[in-house]
Amino acid sequence: MKPYQKIPIQDCGDPLVAIPEQHFAFEIPHPYQKLGAPYKEVSPYMLRQGVLEALKQAQKQLQIKQPGWRIKIFDAYRPVAVQQFMVDYTFQTLRQQLPHEPEEAIAQQVAQFWAQPSENPETPPPHSTGAAIDIALVNEQGETLDLGSEIDELSSRSYPDFYQAATGHWEQLYQQRRALLKAVMVEAGFRQHPQEWWHFSCGDQMWAWLKRQEVPQEVMAYYGRVSEN
């Protein structure tokens, strides 16, 4: 169990809603659907209503700071079955890349970046709540900007502040872009995953856990696992 999974959840009942195409850029085709992840009829480009409103505010802040730039949606809502698929896929990919590495060590690498696909309503994977999102940046020409690592890269380059002390031109640029992305998202109420520059959440257990480290009060999670029935 990860520390944030101990946070109690009192779900507010916000519905899942589609992320509007006119406000954002999208990763098309969806990266996990392309691999065969079992979304069935559910769209991965959905969020809880309150989270979507916060994301719209972040986009407005981005327009003020960098006119013409947009937030690019890589992934949003993720059923538990998809979480399981991606954990298994990542494990098998690493095992092929590292044939001499013990399976336990590979599993630890996967667990560092991928939440366990828990069916327990008290410990839902963040994306299965509809309150977590993976994003990047697109400039005014519609080009996806390089932020120093690929989304889902299993390396220390994925840590938000990996390039903070860098002196090279490109490395400093990566850090500036990451800082901009974090700034507009935090201003809108999100909090960033400590090990993933692309992952932000608002209202889930990880968000509440991070908020508790900022303020001396018992912040509750108000988004739990979305019912898949």
* Predicted confidence (pLDDT) per residue in 146-195, tens digit: 999 999 999 999 999 999 999 999 999 999 999 999 999 999 999 999 99
* pLDDT value of residue 227: 84
187 belongs to the catalytic site: no
Compute the half-sphere exposure of residue 152: CA atoms within 13 Å on the CB side of its CA.
Answer: 16
Q: Which fold has domain 3-212?
A: Muramoyl-pentapeptide Carboxypeptidase; domain 2 (3.30.1380)
Half-sphere exposure of 35 (CA within 13 A, CB side): 12
Question: pTM of this prediction?
Answer: 0.95
122, 143, 187, 196: the catalytic one is: 196
Boundaries of every domain in the chain: 3-212
Helix axis angle, 80-97 relative to 103-113, nearest 10°?
A: 130
| pLDDT interval class at 5 (50, 70, 90) | very high
Take residue 60 and report the two structure tokens written for it: 């407005």
